[in-house]
A = this chain, B = another copy of it.
Amino acid sequence: MDCELLTVGTELVLGLVQDSNAADLGRALAASGVRVRRRATVADEAAEVRGAVAAALERCGTVIVTGGLGPTHDDLTRQAVAQLFGKRLRRDPQILATLEAQHRRRGVSPMPEANRSQADVPEGATVLPNPLGTAPGLWIEDEAGRLAVLLPGVPSEMRALLEREVLPRLRARMDRGAPARASAPADRSGGARVIRSRTIRTTGVAESALADLVREAAMSLGPAVTLASLPSVDGVDLRLTAWELPPGEADAELARAGDALRAVVAPHAYGDGDEDLAAVVLLALERAGAKLAVAESCTGGLLGARLTAVPGSSTVFLGAVVAYDDEVKLGLLGVAADAIAEHGAVSEAVVRQMSTGVARALGADAAIAVTGIAGPAGGTEAKPVGTVWIAVLWHDVVRAFRHVFPGERDDVRRRAAQAALNYLRRVAAGTL
Contacts and interface: CB of A to CB of B under 8 A. Distances in A.
Interface of A: 11-20, 22-28, 30, 36-43, 48, 52, 55, 195, 197, 228, 239, 241, 294, 296, 298-309, 311-314, 317-325, 327-328, 331-332, 361-363, 375-377, 409-410, 413
25 contacts: A12-B26, A13-B37, A14-B36, A15-B24, A15-B26, A16-B23, A16-B27, A16-B241, A17-B23, A18-B18, A37-B42, A40-B40, A294-B322, A300-B304, A300-B313, A300-B320, A301-B308, A304-B322, A304-B324, A311-B376, A317-B324, A320-B321, A322-B322, A325-B362, A331-B362
B41 A309 contact: no
A419 to B, nearest CB: 16
Nearest to A228: B11
A214 to B, nearest CB: 17
From DSSP, what is the main secondary structure of chain A's interface residues?
mixed
A18 B23 contact: yes
Contacts of A197: 16
A123 B26 CA distance: 37
A22 B14 contact: no
A409 B14 CA distance: 32
Contacts of A313: 300, 324
A56 B331 CA distance: 66
A48 B2 CA distance: 14
A40 B41 contact: yes
Contacts of A36: 13-15
A304 B417 CA distance: 14
Greatest chain B CB density within 10 A among A38, A313, A322, A363 is at A322
Nearest to A361: B332
Contact of A299 (B40, B42, B305, B410): B305
B37 A38 contact: no
Greatest chain B CB density within 10 A among A26, A37, A197, A301 is at A301
Contacts of A413: 308-309
B26 A37 contact: no
A417 to B, nearest CB: 9
A38 B43 CA distance: 7
